[in-house]
Chain A
């Protein structure tokens, strides 16, 4: 079916003002913030993948009609939440229909007794947070993409946030979902505090990157605004003793929402303009919640850090980090240069493996003479995530894309050799899927079988997450 026929047929189904074949819309909805999307701007006249039509459903019934139509006509569907993904999850690799979820952005129910909120999945994270703040509540899920990402995108990519060490990733928030399945049926999962009724169905969709269905509503946990928030900053001589401090903090049972550790290079690079003037690794620690608990946790944490010979430098840099936490200018300026590319590779490993992983990654970039800035964040009792930001500058955009993929491939190899995960929170998309089989082993067959059963014609978000083409 051609673009104009497709538009006419979809307009008949859901209404004229919900369908667009305008080239501007098609271009806007065919890109996210994956580095290769940027490189395509100057490399090609137009990007290699453009959807044929954009549809903007206003309710679940519209989504059902679109899915049933696509299934019947064997037209591919791609789902666009906020367009903030960094692994190409929205790229319409086979043309077809892109579903823009932005019109489904209503708050459905705020349950102040249970402390949950039901929302349509197209709501932008920050708009939800603002809504809650006005009523003295908070989600406390603060990914760096919060100002553009949708709740549906949070869930589909299994996102985490900057305050995750206390509140967990998005999987710790979701208590219920509404999903339009690839056959057009609607699944509504139960909203219970816990249930022993078989595997948690929500978890089939959290991190599914849209391949099992379209998330249309979600029920999420919320919190009361914290009574007290305090920051501590420490300087460590070496990164590994700082890591030992974090492990002890976590294994002692403390719950700092934020615990971030920057290596020497990133401490300087990121914080020099905020007044950082030390030769060492910066650790930022935050506690928040009930005032008495915060004071107690804070005291214990300070003792642990001091024991590890850390220098306490007060709270100022922590507060400045919070105020400047979206400032990624130094990364994006590199990307904007012709032939420039940078990206963040977010790995995670258990405590017994993290130091070797970090050393191997650092050694790789040093040998390749590629600039690297690393920090640790998102800590657990069992391990921690390490965020590796690399910067490349080569002769042109084509070479930049080649080198980008080569770096990703090599670092994922290093991760797998160290029994680390290749993605802590950005997801797989089209960038990492070739390595997913190596990490999941037999698990990938389960995902593929599930996809085949739910979506035998491979209609919804094809080419993402799993590699097997049905």
Chain B
């Protein structure tokens, strides 16, 4: 997490082309969240012109890395995430982050997950370290803590396909992505090492990651921290692409819209595969919300862990607006445990049914 003076200056000099897209800014109107203003203050801190304070700390952590701003960035959008992580690391080290950030740090450090839940609560499966499995399933802590139904559905599908698997859920340690996103660089490295050691104990062909945030971390961050995997790593979307034709699907007449998760659309650029999979399930084929793909809206993201009220304002705002102009959609599908959790909690009526895609596929297998 280095101070990239050039990219920070470019952002500061920009004419705010991303301002309208910053969802936490629109929810709070805290000017310091906008990339150009946040980076302006971080730049002044680095030049020793102002001292960092708790107000800046709050603003830095109000950014939920939804990365909508990347879509509209006239410079290198790819600098957004590293600069966010740099800013959070700066604030974290100076003990100026919101208290909940330090609670999460302690939970990750002591329990291996962000909720501080005791491990070993789930069913313990005795997987054989000498046997070769088809898949290693890595749910990721957002799935384990917020949306365990995703794992259940995936296992049901594996059962239909007669595939063998190792499941990493009973004592799973956070993959490190949340620690990285919250500026806890050192801890992220430690968590990655624990995961690396655990996963590489088993023999299997392919690692299937259920949480797209974890998947992003496995393919983008692990090697940078010195952990190189020598097996295939895929997200469950790639798994479904390979096996959807082997499943007996009952086609539905549901009116379905696809809520592009930020990490899939902007982080991983996986936009068409979820739509193609939905296309095999539904007779009505228009899955696009008005704002879709790299312009997609935000569910509140990981703000739900630090600023739950603001996260809820964002997710409720999205659902209420959708209701105001769309009287047809019955089902919202997403491919992210955070989106599923945030949008489900924000429902104040039964107007929409909300599922993760893997749950929707599982529900529609004959």
Contact = CB atoms under 8 A, between A and B. Distances in A.
A315 interface: no
Contact of B56 (A20, A24, A125, A335): A24
Interface in B320-366: 321, 324-325
Interface string B302-334: 000000000000000000010011000000000
21 contacts: A20-B55, A24-B41, A28-B40, A33-B15, A84-B15, A102-B29, A124-B20, A126-B21, A130-B290, A134-B290, A134-B321, A134-B324, A134-B325, A146-B20, A148-B19, A326-B72, A327-B74, A328-B15, A329-B74, A332-B10, A336-B10
Contact of A332 (B14, B19, B32, B37): B14
A102 B19 CA distance: 12
Nearest to B10: A336
A38 interface: yes
A56 interface: yes
Interface string A141-154: 00011111000000
Contacts of B43: 41
A417 to B, nearest CB: 31
Interface string A309-326: 000000000000000001
A46 B72 CA distance: 29
Contacts of A45: 49
B325 A27 contact: no
Interface of A: 20, 22-25, 27-29, 31, 33, 38, 41, 45-46, 56, 82-84, 100, 102-103, 105, 124-127, 130, 133-135, 144-148, 326-329, 332-333, 335-336
Contact of A100 (B12, B13, B31, B321): B31
Given A326-B74, A335-B13, A25 B32 contact: yes
B74 A82 contact: no
Contacts of B13: 38, 332, 335-336
A23 B53 contact: yes
B20 A100 contact: no
B16 interface: yes
Nearest to A338: B9
Given A23-B53, A133-B290, A332-B74, A127 B26 contact: yes
A125 B19 CA distance: 11
Interface string B47-68: 0011001011001000000000
Contacts of A134: 290, 321, 324-325
A332 B74 CA distance: 10
A27 B12 contact: no
Nearest to B50: A23
A233 B133 CA distance: 60
Contacts of B26: 127
B19 A124 contact: yes
Given A134-B324, A332-B15, 19 more contacts: A23-B50, A24-B41, A29-B31, A33-B16, A41-B44, A46-B49, A83-B16, A126-B21, A127-B20, A130-B20, A147-B17, A148-B19, A326-B74, A328-B15, A328-B74, A332-B13, A332-B14, A332-B74, A335-B13
Contacts, number: 101
B18 interface: yes
A31 B21 CA distance: 20
B75 interface: yes
A27 to B, nearest CB: 7
B334 to A, nearest CB: 19
Nearest to A122: B29
B93 interface: no
B291 interface: yes
B19 A27 contact: no
Contacts of A124: 19-20
B63 to A, nearest CB: 14
Interface string B227-249: 00000000000000000000000
B259 to A, nearest CB: 15
Contacts of B40: 27-28, 31, 41
B20 A24 contact: no
Nearest to B72: A147
A-B pairs, top 3 by smallest CB distance, nearest first, are A148-B16, A126-B20, A148-B19
B291 A130 contact: yes
A262 B326 CA distance: 42
B43 to A, nearest CB: 7
Contacts of B53: 22-24
Nearest to B37: A28
Nearest to B32: A24
A48 to B, nearest CB: 13
A82 B31 CA distance: 10
Contacts of A144: 15
A358 B271 CA distance: 47
Contacts of A28: 31-32, 37, 40-41
A124 to B, nearest CB: 5
Contacts of A103: 29
A145 B20 CA distance: 10
A147 to B, nearest CB: 5
A313 to B, nearest CB: 26
B241 to A, nearest CB: 29
A156 B167 CA distance: 61
A267 B198 CA distance: 58
A147 B31 contact: no
A25 B55 contact: yes
Nearest to B54: A22
B3 to A, nearest CB: 16
Nearest to A35: B13
B19 A82 contact: yes
Contacts of A38: 12-13
Given A332-B10, A333-B10, A147 B74 contact: no
Contacts of A41: 12, 40, 43-44
B55 A22 contact: yes
A84 B16 contact: yes
A135 B12 CA distance: 34
A465 to B, nearest CB: 22
Contacts of A105: 29
Contacts of A333: 10
A440 B16 CA distance: 32
Contacts of A24: 32, 41, 50, 53, 55-56, 59
A292 to B, nearest CB: 28
Interface in B258-291: 290-291
Contacts of A25: 31-32, 55
A77 B324 CA distance: 38
Given A41-B12, A100-B31, A147 B21 contact: yes
A45 B32 CA distance: 19
Nearest to A327: B74
Interface string B1-45: 000000001101111111111000010010110000100110110
A336 B8 CA distance: 10
A32 to B, nearest CB: 9
Nearest to A144: B15
Contacts of B17: 147-148, 326
A12 to B, nearest CB: 21
A14 to B, nearest CB: 15
A56 B44 CA distance: 24
B29 A56 contact: yes
Contacts of A335: 13
Contacts of A126: 20-21
